[in-house]
Structure 1
Amino acid sequence: MAAPVPPFTRESALQKVRLAEDGWNSRDPAKVSLAYTVDSHWRNRAEFITGREQIVAFLTRKWLKEQDYRLIKELWAFTDNRIAVRFAYEWHDDSGHWFRSYGNENWEFSADGEMSHRYACINDLPLADADRKFHWPQGRRPDGHPGLSDLGL
């Protein structure tokens, strides 16, 4: 099945969000970068990124730091070529300290469905191991696993 392209419907926006979540949970920077335009513009926290090469470099650094990364994204709103999501992910640093990072992203897409702009606001919360909620094996979140709203997040 082809990836959804604008204009988005509720169903195609939900599919686009899940495809993005699946891609990021792969933790494969080269693969993830292909979902973005060649000249995609990002703001991630206080970092500004332009183009696939910088996306790959950013994600490589990110997943070296954020170990055992597991992400859930949830559709917040959409229009013709834009989607807003909220998300949470859990990870630990090289000292074994766990965190849950919460945030919102605003996405804009080109006519062919690649993301041309991504603006992310993210906050990190230290997390006790006992408070973790994302326990699936590394990779894609299983279809039956609860989403953010189901988990009370």
Structure 2
Amino acid sequence: MSPSRPPVPPFSLETAIQKVRAAEDGWNSRDPARVALAYTEDSQWRNRAEFPRGRAEITAFLERKWQKELDYRLIKELWAFDDDRIAVRFAYEWRNEAGQWFRSHGNENWEFDADGLMKRRFASINDQPIAVGDRKYHWPLGRRPDDHPGLSDLGL
């Protein structure tokens, strides 16, 4: 049995915002094993053209992702919520091995089980090449500081 991952459904505005920030913090850790614990054992994903199923495939996916997407920094923002579902929009900045920077924009739809674990995650993502001078995320790798602007504040 998986441990509970509060906040749990049904979500309020406050708990939905908490859930989104917890997901952002997890992904900014760039620790695939830690991130995978937020998902059910049989979680179903769609991420671009990949369809990982379960924690082992999610972990492998994230390991590949963060080997390619260097200096990854992410901001998520609540878009909508209801009972056991949350929709978010996000943007993250990263660079490839050649030094080209990108800002990846996307939307995710999440569905949770009663313990607060995500059982479904559907992501649509577009990559935008950016010049180094166009970067907006400059905090040290890891958790975004509480006083750093969010997506709406940055005009993203």
Give TM-score, length-normalised by structure 1.
0.99
Cα distance in 2 for residues equivalent to 1:41 and 1:95:
32
Aligned residue for 2:50? 47
Q: 1:141 aligns with which of 128, 140, 144?
A: 144
Show CA shifts across 1:90-139 (max 9, x none).
Answer: 00000000000000000000000000000000000000000000000000
Aligned residue for 1:83? 86
Q: 2:125 aligns with which of 122, 126, 147?
A: 122
Cα distance in 1 for residues equivalent to 2:13 and 2:151:
18
Q: Could you tell me which amino acid in structure 1 is paired with residue 31 of structure 2?
A: D
Show CA shifts across 1:20-69 (max 9, x none).
Answer: 00000000000000000000000000111100000000000000000000
Aligned residue for 1:59? 62
Q: Could you tell me which amino acid in structure 1 is paired with residue 84 of structure 2?
A: N
Aligned residue for 1:100? 103
The structural deviation recorded for 1:3 is 2.0
**Identity level (%):** 74
How much is the aligned-residue C-alpha RMSD, in angstroms? Answer: 0.6
Cα distance in 1 for residues equivalent to 2:20 and 2:76:
7
Structure 2 gap ranges (5+): none
Cα distance in 2 for residues equivalent to 1:126 and 1:45:
17
Structure 1 gap ranges (5+): none
Aligned residue for 1:36? 39
Between the two proteins, the alignment pairs up a number of residues equal to 152
Give TM-score, length-normalised by structure 2.
0.97
4+ aligned runs moved over 6 Å, structure 1:
none
Moved more, 130-139 or 2-11: 2-11
Aligned residue for 1:69? 72
Cα distance in 1 for residues equivalent to 2:8 and 2:121:
16
Aligned residue for 1:9? 12
Cα distance in 2 for residues equivalent to 1:34 and 1:108:
15
